[in-house]
A and B are shown apart, each in its own frame.
Chain A
Amino acid sequence: MNENATATALVIDDDEEIRKLLCFILKQERYRTLESDSGRQGLTDIATRRPDVVVLDLGLPDIDGMEVLHQLRQWSQVPVLILSVRDGAEDKVEALDSGADDYVTKPFDATELLARLRAIQRRAPYAAEDACFEAGHLTMDFSSHIVKIRGREVKLTATEYALLKTLVQNAGKIVTHKQLLQKVWGPNAVNQAQYLRVYMMHLRKKIELSDEPEKLLRTESGFGYRFMIPPKSAGAA
């Protein structure tokens, strides 16, 4: 976890116990930690102390976390992970479409939270245009547009390829339905959820192996998809 040695994480949560425990967990992973107990304090801290990543609660005493996010996004692109008890799909969609980078519900699993934090800290797209991407049994060559599963080439349609590329470039991060539709089909297609489902279904049939228990493409029910990086190849690409 060397990349975290100098990373600073800011925890914005009004619950002192959660704040202390989160900081403890983050310090175990060699993050430097900062704490804010309110939305306004959090905004000030982001502006003045410039953290590398922010963990933001939604139910804050002074201004709602969603409002903090809106204000923040007007002047900062710091990666933000929402950590909230609100588990409705509409809350998640709103937060992610308002610029949050990921959403974890409380009670949370520390290992998962840390993995997601690492993913959103990676600012640049996962693979550059000329690179070759490898994860588990999947190899994707961006220059020749060739996708291989266990060494055997699979034919993808142009749309399936574009979908897979978008997800792979954001490997480990959540990509919302809206973002995918916008990226692959263009701004006029954001309400055409059925396109996305059908193409994802076809893409899955082509690239996922039935004997592999951990699938490459994870559905985040009701709001998006995530390309899962298999643990053993996480640092390889």
Chain B
Amino acid sequence: MASVVYADHVAAMPVYPQVFEAMVPYFKEYYGNPSSIHEDGEKAREALEEARGKVARLIGAQEEEIIFTSCGTESNNLALKGISLAHQSKGKEILISSVEHFSIMHCANALEKAGFHVTRLPVDEYGMVDPAVVERAITPQTILVSVMHSNPEVGTLEPIAEIGKITRAKKVLFHTDAIDSVGNIPVQVNELNVDLLSLAASTFYGPKGAAALYIRKGVKIQPLLDGGIQERGLRAGTENVPAIVGMGVAAELAQKEIPRKMSYLKELSDRLVRELPKKIPYLRFLGHPTRRLPGNVSVAVEYIEGEAMLLFMDMEGIRISSGSACISRSLKVSHVMLAMGVDAATAQGSLLFSFGMQNKPEDVDRILEVLPPIVERLRNMSPVYRKAMAKKA
């Protein structure tokens, strides 16, 4: 059987061996509850705080500004709901971009149903928000702006620092979902001018089940989970010490590695972008051409459908993703692509490659070898392709 090429790192990735090794003792020997007063509790507490320091240093924050959560979605929910509920006496208007992850989009929808007013900021053809549009959209009623740092579906990096300058000037709180950025590209909260930031260990070779929300000192927030007084009363629940320890180690490794990672992954994705059009006609690359996540290639293959391509690729051992409607369990085509003005028919043929450190140049070769015949085969049976070619003739 052909060896596996895993090119779906935005969905999930393995943990580094050092991360796993660091976690094991906290399952077996140092299993104490950090809230316990005895020595086993103390050991767990120490490990927790050590991890907090590592995560804080990764993003240039202070330790007490890091609140641990169970996943990126929880961080996003805490940011949106926690801020909205805490500041609703000042106003009830929230601004988000129209290309956010579901954990922001659907959270905002829920807040809208609860009586808040949500403005979804338009994006350009690359999925980028214009800071001037944000500035115009802010009103005296606005209590929160949330724009993602990077979009994993199309790779685009948003102008967070520029937007942050505007929100600072207008004294509006600014949150960014930096889940796909932190640990992979430089992210410093004071350079970005953000008040809240979501991150998750599972995007930088840490374990699933550990994430965090950065909350700038002085920002009032209402907790989502009520219960014990863990995380300074902002997030009740016995801490997932092993996972958080893993996150700390992953953060420490990431901090040293970012420049090397960026150049390595960029080389892989650049090569795929360069070579693919030579072998497959009628492709459309999505997202910004240069301001994008390294290792991320988002492409729409015209005239055929994404899930069919994915299945054939999977049979050949290549794991990727797609934004087509058939792939999503909700059967809706990617809202990100629609917001960018990509027509739905083209979006159905979307493929997403996201490389990680386990990928090698040979993996790109394999994709270049395997994908073209799959595309040709599907196009030869596509009535859409047939009609399009007849028109061009």
Do A and B pair up? The answer is no
